Amino acid sequence: MAEDTPKINAEVIAVYPDKIKIVVDNLEDFRIAGETLQVGSYLKISDNENAILMAIIENFSIVVNDVGKRDYAIEALPLGMIKNGTFIRGGDSLAIPPKKVEPATEEEIKKIYEQSIDSKEKFTFASLSSNPNIRIPVNGNKFFNKHVAIVGSTGSGKSHTLSAIIQKAVSEKSGSFSINNSHVIIFDIHSEYKSAFPAANFIDIKNLILPYWLLNSEELEEFFLDTEANDHNQKFVFKEAIVSNRILNFKGSEADKKRIHYDSPLYFDIDFVLKSAKDKNSELVDSGEVYAASNKEKAGQPKLTNGSLNGKLTNFVNRLENKINDNRLDFLLGNKSKKITFEETLNQLIGYQAGKNANVTVIDLSGVPFEVLSITVSLISRVIFEYGYFYKRYRNAKDPNEKINNDIPILLVYEEAHKYVPNSDLVKYRSSKKSIERIAKEGRKYGITLLLASQRPSEISETIFSQCNNFIAMRLTNPADQGYVKKLLPDTLGTLIDKMPSLKQGEALLVGESIILPSIVQIDRCTPEPSSNDIPYWELWKEQWKTMKIEEIKKEWYS
């Protein structure tokens, strides 16, 4: 783009740590390459020390002086200094008075972003919203090894942004090999991402197999017990049956067998647990007395009386039996769940399938019954976290001097995260919140990071959301959500953060440790797209009446 020399008709009248005030006598001439300046345009302010302050325009106003002349006042947010050709954050060291103020050129703006990140660490998925010629890179290491939050109201482009980022990540290579080493697991709650990742390892309710015996004690009790009743009898019987059956099915040494406990990730038969509960619920025990000789049929036989738990486990037995017989839970309690191994479970989740390795695993949760959604997400998340933990231990045992403790890091993507990690203390969310909060606080050490996407950030667990170091804040219209996000973002953003309600589709405020400057960007379009487009009601309503195939819908429903 050709660049004209702007007329010097601007004067700095005040410099603050977080604001620069400038008066321009002729705004029409204060432009570059014929482009009128606007809110979001960049300025360069030179001082007497051969330093240049870069600033971004926050607002304009008109000032009328004593003789009636109209001047234009500009307030700009200082971004940083360019000294010796290098950009440095911070803008409170400008010498007074500055020599001149000019609009920044396109090349100068590009240098701010491009020089801030080493070429091998650059990851780019957006352009500057005010100038599509200026690409905005982030530091790929700092972006993915720190947790990420994407927030935006419905229709803001959140799903497309998520897809664009992951598509770009799995296509980047540092060599000529066919598939890179990226590993992403997407928890897809609305069946959106299969179309965006056609080569993905796709798992839905029809082929999802999760072993119930890998549930830990808290998850088992949340799933099978009436925790609200606080019934110690059912908990004792449940725990005793599980531990004894794990011991019974264990094929290892006697020494290892003695170490088996309630949380051991070893197989047990849920049908055995049900039988044990039924037996205890109908148990008869020797009373210590015998029938008298007058009872010809039972004379001399011991008298039986109800066991201590006889009749007290009926609700527990019914609850357990109902779950085992519920066809909707076959993915978790069916015969395949009994037979699947630990290795097969991990391979299924991470994308190591025979003949087809995949960078992305899409787990479609839309068919998972809502009452077990938290347990399902908790189990998968915890298994992945523990993979990272034990993989680090394995690598350190092989080489204590190993600097990279996990050379197969994994990104867990939680779409509509407020659905399973809400800011709520309800029991039904306890498992998933505990698993994901642990990843948020400790996962980075083991190569497991999070990407949270939500249209209701104010409803996400604050423990989890506050651990995010990179934010992509798209259009947010709900005042509670705006306030929640503002509270967690840096105070130095000035009025940039106030633009969230007016951002266009695909526009976002990109801020965090991975980017040199908080910036309003336009996210690249993803190809192919997720199936998250709005249904065109008005166009469809105007078409000819369509016959609804109730029988086929019923078959799909019942399946």
Residues of the chain with pLDDT > 70, as a percent, come to: 92
pLDDT over 70 (residue 244) = yes
pLDDT over 60 (residue 1) = no
Burial code of 491-518, b = ≥16 C-beta within 10 A, e = fewer?
Answer: ebbbebbebbeebeebbbbbbbebbbbb
The residues pairing with 511 across neighbouring beta strands, listed in sequence order, are 471
- Which of 332, 115, 144 is CA-nearest to residue 223? 332
Q: Which range has the top average pLDDT, 6-10, 99-103, 105-109, 511-515?
A: 511-515
The residues pairing with 82 across neighbouring beta strands, listed in sequence order, are 52, 87
**What's the 3-state SS for 21-56?**
EEEECCCCCCCECCECCCCCCEEEEECCCCCEEEEE
- The answer regarding whether domain 10-114 maps to CATH 2.30.110 reads yes
Q: Write down the mean pLDDT value for the chain.
A: 86
Mean pLDDT over 478-500 rounds to: 75
Distance CA 142, CA 145 (A): 5
CA distances from 529 to 96, 159, 183, 192, 351 (A): 52, 9, 20, 9, 21
Stronger pLDDT, 331 or 461, i.e. the higher one: 331
Helix (H) / strand (E) containing 349: helix 342-350
Q: Which range has the top average pLDDT, 188-202, 286-300, 414-428?
A: 188-202
Q: What is the pLDDT of residue 258?
A: 92
Stronger pLDDT, 145 or 15, i.e. the higher one: 145
Kindly report the CA angle at 32 between 26 and 36, in degrees rounded to 5? Answer: 60
Mean pLDDT over 275-281 rounds to: 93
Q: What is the pLDDT of residue 330?
A: 94
Domain with CATH 2.30.110 in the chain: 10-114
Q: What is the pLDDT of residue 19?
A: 82
Q: What is the pLDDT of residue 95?
A: 58
Strands 284-290 and 42-46 turn out to be: unpaired
pLDDT over 80 (residue 361) = yes
- The answer regarding whether domain 121-209+340-553 maps to CATH 3.30.450.20 reads no
> Look-up: residue for tokens 């709005």?
534
Are 446 and 406 a contacting pair, CB within 8 Å?
Answer: yes
Domain with CATH 3.40.50.300 in the chain: 121-209+340-553
